[in-house]
Structure 1
Amino acid sequence: MLAMIHEQNKDPQMTELLIGGVQIGTPQAKQQWVDDFLASRPQNTSMNTFRYYQTCLYPAVGIDLTPKGINDWLTNVTKGNAKLSYYRAIKAFCNWLYKSKKIVKNPIDFVDKPKTAKRILPAITQEQLVTLIKNVTTLRDACLLRFLFDSGCRLSEVSGVEAKDFHYDTGLVTVIGKGNKQRRAPFTIATGEMLQEWFAEHDTFELSNEGISSFLDRLESNTGITCNAHCFRRGFAIHQFKQGVSTRNVQLMGGWESITMVERYTQQLSQDDAFKHYDRG
């Protein structure tokens, strides 16, 4: 039996043919589908998430939406562990296409999750922080470095923070985190004193995401220390572990949605670090 399959509302974009229940014809990723997928995201989706989907999915326009087509496309991603990010994006896209009845079968069900290299990622240490601060000349830049290390805040959280968000009596700052969710992050007394001095005359750090990234790139070139925002975030987590803070509390302070990512950072602690927290009674 030959049948043209349409959505219940007779969407003409559904063009797969079935003969005896077997799909004939190969659906391809259309730019309109990607645009529709982006438009369907929840209202509280952050701009960073939109950019992530755009970066991953627009290069997929035109590929065959079959297990082989997706695997071939992922094979051509040459950015190391970024392959997993592309897989997650195409998985969300295919799931949406299937639920929207734009495709008859979901090809992602037959695509294995890419394996990632288990490598130790760079994390800023207290000693490196001292070196970095010695290589800046302005109060604003010193504040930025200390705040990044103290709080573990994401890049967008730092660029968006305002003077009114700081609560110096409690050592907490209110930021807009991932998914446009409001959360609080900590900072030390010493950093708070520097922040008060800066924000007494300024409302923000006066740098965009790109501005902060460029500043850190220049600092990395000058010092040889890898110091992007993620390095500070990992450094925050590892420093807290070394102070004896539990994984769960580190997760809450850093605003990680999943404890799995935080647990990955504990693998960078040495056995000597672990013994420091052993209670000999």
Structure 2
Amino acid sequence: MVSAKDEMLMKCMKVWMTRFNTEDLKFLEDTFWMVSFNFSVDTISSTEVTTVNGETTDRLMEYFKIGKLSSGKTESTINQYIRVVHQLCDFCHKEINMITTDDVLSFMVKYKIQNNVKGSTMDIKRKYLSSVFSYLYKHKKIADNPMSIVEPVKYKKCIKVPLKDEEIELLKINTTNSRDLAIIHFFLDTGVRVSELCGINLEDVDFKNYTCKVLGKGNKERTVAFSGKTAMRLNEYLKQRKDINMNGTYCTYAPNTPLFASRKGHPTRLCKTAIESMVRKLGIISGVTRVHPHLFRATFATRLAERDTDIGVIAKLLGHADLESVNRYVLIDQTKIEATIRQKGFCS
């Protein structure tokens, strides 16, 4: 008979397999048994609150998904909202229509402690939950909105420190294949989100004018530009693809062929998790352990600001309608601020 601890490990391994290689999985399995040695695990069969099978939650989440898809939200974004709802329901062992404000507050506090996550992460979860419950309450699918009096999570808002030139060079030097090198160059040249990069098709790229169409949040399309050096890196990578016929700078391919694909067997579109994993591993190899895909975006924005690019232009290139959102990406050097003050004559 399979024990509850064995069952728990099997479920963890099923999730881990989508993200880690065989060596990492062995390490995680060994660590699990080592850490859990002095702990017992029991399958929840009954609790003081209602144990649920999830049917009501699934039905309401399907209603929410259809509604948001019809209003232009992308499926990947909607799935992030739904994932947080399931985290809350699993934590409380309740269907979504039975969740109370106290349940939400308990989840917000305990989840943060148990999973050691940042306040900013919990505030994002709060926003997702607020969006879902508000939508269901507005459409009279639930009797009350438990999020109506849940306040925003207070946390210190830190501007991401952009990558230094030497860190960028270390990442490039330690990149072992043409695809990953092209991805690094593309991130730095365009400042696209990782989800946006995943969705780019070859037909979206104009190699003659070095531009690319990107589908951002809210299904808003924008055009980004890249350098000739990045174009060369893309060319080197695409020449190795089995699903593309290259003839000089001209290539033929099937409709909806992804710009960046997996390298295993028949090329398939790279997913967000795969790119994040690649960047994380590259950072470890390069000694730039703080790197992640979003940091390329901050580096892109800061470099534009350092060249005195208008903040409205930066916002447009990043795909932001709100200029205030740009501030969290841009870090202006203190010496430049002091020089500007002296130049304007604000200090003697």
Deviations 1:8-42 (A, max 9, x none): xxxxxxxxxxxxxxxxxxxx995132332223213
Q: Which residue of the partner structure matches residue 251 of structure 1?
A: 315
- Alpha-carbon deviation of 1:278? 7.3
Match of 1:181 among 201, 220, 231: 220
- SS at 1:107 equivalent: coil
Q: Is the 8 A contact 2:193 2:297 kept in 1?
A: yes
Residues 166 and 58 from structure 1, CA distance in 2 versus in 1: closer, same or farther, beyond 3 angstroms?
same
Residues 132 and 277 from structure 1, CA distance in 2 versus in 1: closer, same or farther, beyond 3 angstroms?
farther
- Alpha-carbon deviation of 1:230? 0.7
Instruction: Give structure 2 stretches of 5+ with no counterpart.
Output: 1-51, 245-258, 263-269
Q: Which residue of the partner structure matches residue 177 of structure 2?
A: 138
How far apart, CA to CA, are the structure 2 residues paired with 1:75 and 1:92?
19
Q: Is the 8 A contact 2:190 2:225 kept in 1?
A: yes
Q: Which residue of the partner structure matches residue 280 of structure 2?
A: 217
Residues 197 and 276 from structure 1, CA distance in 2 versus in 1: closer, same or farther, beyond 3 angstroms?
farther
Pairing of 1:88-237 with structure 2 (within 5 A): 88-199=127-238, 202=241, 204-207=259-262, 208-209=270-271, 210-225=273-288, 226-237=290-301
- SS at 1:142 equivalent: helix
How far apart, CA to CA, are the structure 2 residues paired with 1:161 and 1:155?
10
1:72 aligned onto 2:106 = yes
- Alpha-carbon deviation of 1:158? 1.8
- Alpha-carbon deviation of 1:249? 0.7
- SS at 1:245 equivalent: coil
Match of 2:78 among 35, 47, 50: 50
Residues 169 and 126 from structure 1, CA distance in 2 versus in 1: closer, same or farther, beyond 3 angstroms?
farther
- SS at 1:77 equivalent: helix
Q: Is the 8 A contact 1:163 1:199 kept in 2?
A: no
- SS at 2:313 equivalent: helix
Q: Is the 8 A contact 2:158 2:328 kept in 1?
A: no
How far apart, CA to CA, are the structure 1 residues paired with 2:60 and 2:201?
38
Deviations 1:94-135 (A, max 9, x none): 211221223344332211111123234353333321111011
How far apart, CA to CA, are the structure 1 residues paired with 2:183 and 2:338?
33
- Which amino acid in structure 2 is aligned with residue 193 of structure 1? M
Q: Is the 8 A contact 1:247 1:259 kept in 2?
A: yes
Structure 1, 61-70 or 172-181: larger mean CA deviation:
61-70
- Paired residues, number: 253
Deviations 1:110-167 (A, max 9, x none): 1111112323435333332111101113322221111111101111222332333222
- Alpha-carbon deviation of 1:58? 0.9
Residues 199 and 58 from structure 1, CA distance in 2 versus in 1: closer, same or farther, beyond 3 angstroms?
same
Q: Is the 8 A contact 1:241 1:247 kept in 2?
A: yes
- SS at 1:206 equivalent: coil
RMSD between superposed Cα atoms in Å:
2.6
